[in-house]
Amino acid sequence: MVMGISVRLVGDRGFWNAGFLTVSRCVATGIVLAVLGAGEVPVKADLLSIIAPDTLVVVGDNAPEPEMQAAQRLAAKLVEDGGPKDNLVQASVVNADLEKAASHHLMVVGTEASNRVLERFGSHWVLNRDLYYAHRTPYEPFMPTTGYSAAGYGTFANAADAVGYVEWDRNPYWHYASNLEYEASKAPASSTAAAAYQPLPYRQIVRITGNSSAGVALAVDAVLNRHLLTGVVTDKNILPGPMGLFSIDTAHAAWPETAPAWIPITDLHDGDAAVLFAGWHLADSMTYAGFEDASGQPALHIWRAKYLTETLWNYAPTVVIDPAWPMSRSPLFEASITRRASSNEFFVAELPTAEAAASAHDGLIATLNKNKITQAPWHEVEISGVTWSVSRFDTHIAARGPWVVMASFDGKHNDMALAALSAALATAVAK
């Protein structure tokens, strides 16, 4: 970790290791954040149109009417975007057909009480304590047993208030099936299994859930209308607070519709290369804490805009960071849509003043240089009027007005992305 921080959280289901702080993961690998550039006529992005042909909407067998209606809206949008007409399936179908479940992206709509897939593969980040502890005893007597807990966003105490939650993750059925395929491939080379082995196309699960059917409906609407990839949603954008490591307050919540207009939300195509806007991760409290720890400055707001390239998820599972050190990173994981992934992302932090932004810029570089795998040496380049500090791992950091921008992209996408971002930033924000 760039900041030397590994957070060991005590979760309601036992110990689980977050161990990341999003900013740490981003800058530590040098694959920080990807941005959109200029070129041919931009096209308004829609992630759903990209995944539609390979996506199923999974609803509970006896889903309450609000959840069924929400699932039907989502399924209809995917059909409109080119998906199959029979894309709405029940949870029992998915659980009984591994091939179907593993070969599709799964957008699972409901709660752990209404959808067997969510009960079977629930999130490690959210927990409806009222439901979970109705028939369980907490590990320790001090552990709270009420409220809807969303790690990084806070605990929503009033069950009457609708809360939705959206999260992308690796499809667990895909993971299981991939292991089966891999084990089969270990057979002697003359065997049919080894000769026929081909890794399964990467598939993800999207948990669209909440503390109630009304919360689930809010989450579906956030996917359809706000391009939300990760985060909580409430009826009036109210978050519980206080601002800390495990919760965020309303004042710091950086909603998609409040993002600076110069953050690109269009697609770029330049020959065979493409950068495709996917949506927004609602920055959580651990991202804010990580940024402050690494930069020395607290951010007022942080926006995380996620992008894909024409490669989508066809990346290597692991590559070596530096031959001198026994460490690796996963381009496949980093290119995924999970909230912990650090690649193909545009990270913007708003500071109180330009002076604070400049100090944060310097603090980030100083922290990166302390690592065993240091990012030094750095040099400066000017792109379309914006001065960028660039590390040996091609990490780009710039301070412009009250903003700190971190950006990096792989090879052929980097130049066109940074040129366009810099032009937009220089035009919108004075030095």
Q: In terms of C-beta density within 10 A (0-12 exposed, 13-18 middle, 19 or more buried), how is residue 359 classed?
A: middle
The reported pLDDT for the residue numbered 40 is 35
Query: Model-level pTM?
Result: 0.86
Residue 183: pLDDT over 90: no
* Span 142-181, pLDDT tens digits: 999 999 999 999 999 998 899 999 999 999 999 888 877 6
Q: How far apart are CA 240 and CA 149, in angstroms?
A: 10
Residue 16: pLDDT over 60: no
* Span 205-218, pLDDT tens digits: 999 999 999 999 99
Closest among 115, 118, 117, 119 to 100, alpha carbons compared: 117
Angle, to 10 degrees, between the axis of helix 65-80 and the axis of helix 213-225?
Answer: 20
Q: How far apart are CA 46 and CA 339, in angstroms?
A: 18
* Span 210-247, pLDDT tens digits: 999 999 999 999 999 999 999 999 999 999 999 999 99
* Span 281-326, pLDDT tens digits: 999 999 999 999 999 999 999 999 898 889 888 877 777 766 666 6
> In the structure, what pLDDT confidence band is assigned to residue 18 with cuts at 50, 70 and 90?
very low
Report the pLDDT averaged over residues 181-210: 70
Closest among 346, 347, 349, 421 to 385, alpha carbons compared: 421
The reported pLDDT for the residue numbered 230 is 96
* Span 331-367, pLDDT tens digits: 888 888 888 887 888 899 999 999 999 999 999 999 9
Residue 392: pLDDT over 80: yes
What count of residues does the chain have? 431
